[in-house]
Amino acid sequence: MSGSGIGIGPRPGVATGSGVRDTPVRDTAVGDLARAGAAGATAGAGAAKPASRPTGAARASIGASAAASAAATTAISAAARAGAAGEPTETAPSGSGVDRRPAPGSRQVVLWRHGRTAWNLERRFQGQTDIPLDEVGVAQAERAARVLAGLGPSVIVASDLIRATRTAETLARLTDLPVSLDEGLRETYAGRWQGLDDDEIRARYADEFEAFRRGERVRRGGGELESEVADRVVPAILRGLEKVPPGGTLVVATHGGAARVALGRMMGLPEELWGALGGLSNCCWSVLGEARAGWRLLEHNAGSLLEPVIGDDE
């Protein structure tokens, strides 16, 4: 079964995008990143803090190109203040501009990418093709689940594609929680690109490929736009949050591209800056914390030592 899959048709949603892995960041506000960019940072900002979890230092990979850094600074700060819902953000008494105080009874959302598949290893674009975890992917999921179980999750939701479902089930066994499947959490549908490796995509769809790499809005393979993916992924996350009590944690087992666009939308970033968020390594996760207005990025690409990102969302 490894390396083969069943194609699943298009759904309204967003395409996965490219990201640049840079400086590890942990518990860093978007506003802090913007201020660092204005000061002359060329590719992301932040410092790794020691993790209190058994696996050691959590890693993060928020990246932005040097050319985009200064131009993105003002937009990121403004978007962070606006929040995911477009509401004005309360400012802290210090006048820092971004209120980093948690909301009373604030909840957390853990966006957890699935374990490795044979197609990840072969650098084939998976999209919504239903590819299972390989042996390494199963081991990754089991290891990550032991860490995430320590968070005491309240609710687990997952994409109904088997690689995400099987990843979520490893955590469910440790926590005795059910897994709710939601097709809204599926990866980007990429039409003709699905099943092709990087070289094949470049050879057959050179113009489309280069346009996407430049950050243009592209229906890769005739599939979904990134904004369309966010349109279905974020509501699926919010449906899961309805079941989470104050102070609780929602774990969302999903896909790299789906997770990235959800982060951008929920943090209130303009779509043209979503590519500044680096991709997730297999079975790593990002954490959003509920703030007084909108959502704040607490961790990105955490859960293991720094690993290369292989898959659709490089």
HEC secondary structure over 18-63: CCCCCCCCECCCHHHHHHHHHCCCCCCCCCCCCCCCCCCCCCCCEC
Tokens of 280: 């997730």
Q: What is the mean pLDDT of residues 75-95?
A: 40
With 90 as the cut, is the pLDDT of residue 200 above it?
yes
Measured between alpha carbons, how far is 130 from 118 in angstroms, rounded to an integer?
12
With 50 as the cut, is the pLDDT of residue 177 above it?
yes
Q: Measured in whole angstroms, how far is the alpha carbon of residue 233 from the centre of its chain?
A: 11
Measured between alpha carbons, how far is 258 from 232 in angstroms, rounded to an integer?
9
pLDDT of residue 99: 67
Measured between alpha carbons, how far is 104 from 154 in angstroms, rounded to an integer?
17
Catalytic residue chosen out of the listed positions 87, 90, 114, 228:
114
Which residue's entry shows tokens 């032991």? 146
Any catalytic annotation for residue 300? no
* pTM, rounded to two decimals: 0.69
Mean pLDDT, all residues of the chain: 76
Measured between alpha carbons, how far is 47 from 27 in angstroms, rounded to an integer?
9
Q: Give the model's confidence band at 83: pLDDT under 50 very low, under 70 low, under 90 confident, else very high.
A: very low
Vertex 168 angle, CA 103 and 48, to 5°:
55
pLDDT greater at residue 215 or residue 62: 215
- Cβ partners under 8 Å of residue 39, min gap 6: none
pLDDT digits 0-9 by tens, 113-169 = 999 999 999 999 999 999 999 999 999 999 999 999 999 999 999 999 999 999 999
pLDDT digits 0-9 by tens, 162-171 = 999 999 999 9
Catalytic residue chosen out of the listed positions 183, 187, 242, 272:
187
Measured between alpha carbons, how far is 109 from 295 in angstroms, rounded to an integer?
9
User: CB–CB of 224/257 below 8 Å?
Assistant: no
Q: Identify the weakest region by mean pLDDT among 75-84, 86-95, 151-160.
A: 86-95
Q: What is the mean pLDDT of residues 176-196?
A: 97
Task: Tell me the H-state helices in the chain.
Answer: 30-38, 66-82, 118-121, 135-149, 162-175, 198-204, 206-213, 226-241, 256-266
CA-closest candidate to residue 286, choices 276, 273, 297: 297
Q: Which domains does the chain carry?
A: 30-188+225-302 (3.40.50.1240)
Q: Give the model's confidence band at 102: pLDDT under 50 very low, under 70 low, under 90 confident, else very high.
A: confident
